[in-house]
Amino acid sequence: MHCRHNPTTDSIIQLYHSPPLSPNQCGSSLFQVVRAPLALVWSMVRRFDNPQAYKRFLKSCTIRQGDGGVGSVREVVVVTGMPANTSVERLERLDDEAHVMVFTIIGGDHKLANYRSTTTLHENGDGGGDTVVVESYVVDVPYGSSKEDTVLFANTIVTCNLRWLARTVEELL
Among 104, 53, 119, 44, smallest CA distance to 74 is for 104
User: Are the CB atoms for 172 and 36 separated by under 8 Å?
Assistant: yes
* Residues facing residue 140 across a β-bridge: 25
State the amino acid at position 75 in one-letter form: E
For residue 47, give every residue at least 6 positions away whose Cβ sits within 8 Å of its Cβ, in sequence order, or none: 53, 68
- The boundaries of the domain holding residue 90 are 26-172
Q: Please state the separation of Cα 114 from the chain's center in Å.
A: 14
The CATH number for 80's domain is 3.30.530.20
Q: Which of 45-49, 50-54, 125-129 has the lowest mean pLDDT?
A: 125-129
Span 52-61, pLDDT tens digits: 999 999 999 9
Q: How many domains does the chain have?
A: 1
Q: How many residues does the chain have?
A: 173
Q: Is residue 33 part of a domain?
A: yes
- Rounded CA-CA distance 93/91 in Å is 6
| The pLDDT of residue 168 is above 60 | yes
Span 82-97, pLDDT tens digits: 888 999 999 999 999 9
| The pLDDT of residue 5 is above 90 | no
Span 107-128, pLDDT tens digits: 999 989 999 999 999 998 777 7
Q: Is residue 66 part of a domain?
A: yes
Q: What pTM, to 2 d.p., does this model score?
A: 0.92
Q: Is residue 79 part of a domain?
A: yes
Provide the angle, in degrees to the nearest 10, between the axes of the packed helices 38-45 and 147-172. 120
> What integer pLDDT is reported at residue 111 of this predicted model?
85
